[in-house]
Amino acid sequence: MSLDADVRVSRGAFDVHVPLLVEPGRVAAVLGPNGAGKTSVLHALAGLLPLAGGHVRVDGHTWADDRRRLGPAEREVGLLAADHLLFPHLTALGNVAFGPRSRGEERRAAAARAHAELEALGIDDLADRRPAALSHGQAQRVALARALATDPRLLLLDEPLSALDPATRPQVRATLASRLGDYGGVTVVVTHDPLDALTLADHLVFVEDGRVVQEGTPTEVVARPRDPYVAHVVGLNLYPGTTSGPDTLDTPLGAVVTGGVEHTGPTWAAFAPSAVALYPEEPHGSTRNAWPARVVGVELVGQTVRVRLAVEGTDAALLAEVTAGSVATLGLRPGAAVWAGVKATEVSAYPR
């Protein structure tokens, strides 16, 4: 059950154009900032928004184009909306069983399937509760179970893990990844969380201002981001540059020495925040790239600290990842002056 879609949607003055090709059993994640058009794509695939052009084809069958448009009820879609849309008069079990029942399953079989989906998500003990008695995170898991229970051709998940608390999220993410691995249809996940995308999806599609700015496998995207937003999501420093020597690029940071430039012309320079070392004074020796900077923000991320920097004399920003001990030793607080250094071997250069 493959998806071949060329989604063109108009929302007032805002136009969305996002093509999607997803093979059977695969998961595509659509990522982008708020207002990028991600949910519009999902609603167009579900039939909730009309296409302004393009097409939606699933397993070779046309669901929508310039001559034909199936309504939402005619499409074999499982949709987890951001606002859940649970039936308030039904229990959690009744909500999940509704899909199988509406497709002709006998009551007992539908209830058994609903129990299985709720149990897989760790909430079978909530089967008898109505939506009003569920927390936001619990309701999201019930909605997810309901979407999975119908074995749809196309499974559409809008921020499926966003409402879960930090303690529950890893478990549900692992369960969902396992469940999607056994699912033979096509899944499209809309998310702003890079960890959700990297752990659930085989293919990443980044959307900004209604257009695709980059797509590829997680490995390809992480290795070579080609857009500042993509670089931000995968956690890399990325700068456009032009070749000025066999190992040097002109960038918004100034001259950046790399491990070697294999071509001439427009180039991206990328390096990880963990490759950025911070110093109280200008570094020398093996650190061939060094910039005076001021601390803009300090954020604890897991066991490390991310330091956002503004590079003096430029409009460029820089992200460093250091230990908690470095924060205290260097006095890293907003406004503090430091030097940021990166070894040439840590800088990747590739065509724009």
Whether the Cβ atoms of residue 336 and residue 293 lie closer than 8 Å to each other: no
What percent of the chain has a predicted confidence (pLDDT) above 70? 100
DSSP-derived 3-state class of residue 55: strand
DSSP-derived 3-state class of residue 60: coil
Structural domain span for residue 312: 235-351
- Is the domain of 108 the same as that of 201? yes
- Is the domain of 108 the same as that of 177? yes
- Is the domain of 243 the same as that of 221? no
Q: Tell me, what's the pLDDT at 338?
A: 95
Q: Tell me, what's the pLDDT at 172?
A: 79
How distant, in Å, are the alpha carbons of 131, 162, 175, 182, 250 from that of 140?
10, 9, 14, 21, 48
For residue 63, give the CATH number of its domain. Answer: 3.40.50.300
- Residue carrying the six token digits 């990443």: 204
Q: Tell me, what's the pLDDT at 257?
A: 93
- Is the domain of 186 the same as that of 245? no
- Is the domain of 221 the same as that of 277? no
Of 212, 213, 210, 208, which is closest to residue 52 (Cα–Cα)? 210
- Residue 352: which residues within 8 A CB-CB, separation 6 or more? 226, 240, 265, 266, 267, 268
Which of 199, 228, 257 finishes a domain?
A: 228
In the 8-state DSSP scheme, what is residue 69?
Answer: B
Q: Tell me, what's the pLDDT at 81?
A: 81
- Is the domain of 117 the same as that of 27? yes
Q: What is the mean pLDDT of each run of 10 residues along the chain (352 residues)?
A: 92 93 93 91 94 94 92 89 85 94 91 93 92 87 88 90 78 82 89 87 94 93 88 88 89 91 85 94 88 94 88 93 90 94 92 85
Which residues make beta-bridge pairs with 80?
157
- Is the domain of 147 the same as that of 62? yes
For residue 288, give the CATH number of its domain. Answer: 2.40.50.100
Number of domains in the chain: 2
Structure tokens that stand for 334 in this block: 């907003």
- Is the domain of 31 the same as that of 159? yes
- Residue 102: which residues within 8 A CB-CB, separation 6 or more? none
- Is the domain of 177 the same as that of 48? yes
- Is the domain of 191 the same as that of 246? no
Report helix, strand and coil shares of the chain as percent, to nearest 5: 30, 35, 35
Q: How far is CA 181 from the centre of its chain?
A: 18
- Is the domain of 46 the same as that of 110? yes
Which residues make beta-bridge pairs with 262?
none
Which of 178, 205, 228 finishes a domain?
A: 228
- Is the domain of 60 the same as that of 91? yes
In the 8-state DSSP scheme, what is residue 41?
Answer: H
pLDDT digits 0-9 by tens, 4-36: 999 999 988 899 999 999 998 899 999 998 889
User: Within 13 Å of residue 25, how many CA atoms lie on the same side as its CB?
Assistant: 4
Q: Tell me, what's the pLDDT at 211?
A: 95
Question: CA-to-CA distance for 143 and 147, rounded, in angstroms?
Answer: 6
Which of 183, 200, 228 finishes a domain?
A: 228
Of 342, 11, 10, 32, which is closest to residue 204 (Cα–Cα)? 32
Question: CA-to-CA distance for 78 and 152, rounded, in angstroms?
Answer: 5
What's the pTM?
A: 0.81
Q: Tell me, what's the pLDDT at 136?
A: 80
Question: CA-to-CA distance for 119 and 125, rounded, in angstroms?
Answer: 8
Of 204, 210, 157, which is closest to residue 36 (Cα–Cα)? 210
